[in-house]
Structure 1
Amino acid sequence: MAASKTDKAGATATKKPNPALMKPLQPSNELAAVVGSSPLPRTEVVSKVWEYIKANNLQNPADKREILADDKLQAIFGGKRKVSMFEMNKHFAQHLS
């Protein structure tokens, strides 16, 4: 069993959300085609892209960790037809400012 972190007074420390992840960022035109053009926090961008992937059945049925990109996602993923779900966030960084 993992022990929870406590401060000097013995109270359990709560993890605070990273404010950098909550800052709204402007999506590029390519990313806006999937998530919309208004500024969004990274967490919301990821959620909206996953909604798009699931709505359009773009997960590889043999390996759910693999995304099969359509034309819109290919523009975000640097022309790649397939990316892993772990690689996906790296591509978002290039499309948010």
Structure 2
Amino acid sequence: MATAKKAPAKTAPAAKAPATKAAAPAKKRTPNAAFMKALTPSPALAAVVGSAPLPRTEIISKLWVYIKAHNLQDATNKRNINADAKLKELFGKPQVSMFELAGLIGKHVK
């Protein structure tokens, strides 16, 4: 009885030598000016975050502080926010997803 011969194992190709050019140093990311522009909140939004002009990022941060302080996240699905009287005026509905938050706030800033 003849036995089959095994094929020799293939070896991985040799690693390439490091490139002769040095990699460019990573540049520090600059913030987008549109996000840093101070916006004036509408009276409905000012009731939650204050009336001083704030950048969009700060408005969202203050809104989350308000939501957490008043325990407005839905207990079963933390991605949903239950609106109290002030937030219902902003959102226009009793419950919103956290992903809708920035879009809804856009209507209330100048």
Q: CA deviation at 1:13?
A: 2.3
Q: Give 3-state SS (helix, strand or coil) of 2:96's partner.
A: strand
Letter in 2 for 1:92: I
Determine the C-alpha separation between the residues in 1 that align with 2:81 and 2:47: 17
Q: 2:37 aligns with which of 23, 29, 43?
A: 23
Aligned to 2:107: 94
Determine the C-alpha separation between the residues in 1 that align with 2:109 and 2:48: 13
Question: In percent, how many aligned pairs have the same letter?
Answer: 54
Aligned residues: 89
Query: What stretches of structure 2 of length at least 5 have no aligned partner?
Result: 1-21
Query: What stretches of structure 1 of length at least 5 have no aligned partner?
Result: 1-7
Alignment pair present for 1:14 and 2:18: no
Alignment of 1:1-97 (within 5 A): 10-77=24-91, 79-97=92-110
- State which structure, 1 or 2, has the greater radius of gyration over its C-alpha atoms: 2
Determine the C-alpha separation between the residues in 1 that align with 2:30 and 2:75: 36
Find runs of 4+ consecutive structure 1 residues off by over 3 angstroms: none
> How high is the TM-score relative to the length of structure 1?
0.87
> How high is the TM-score relative to the length of structure 2?
0.77
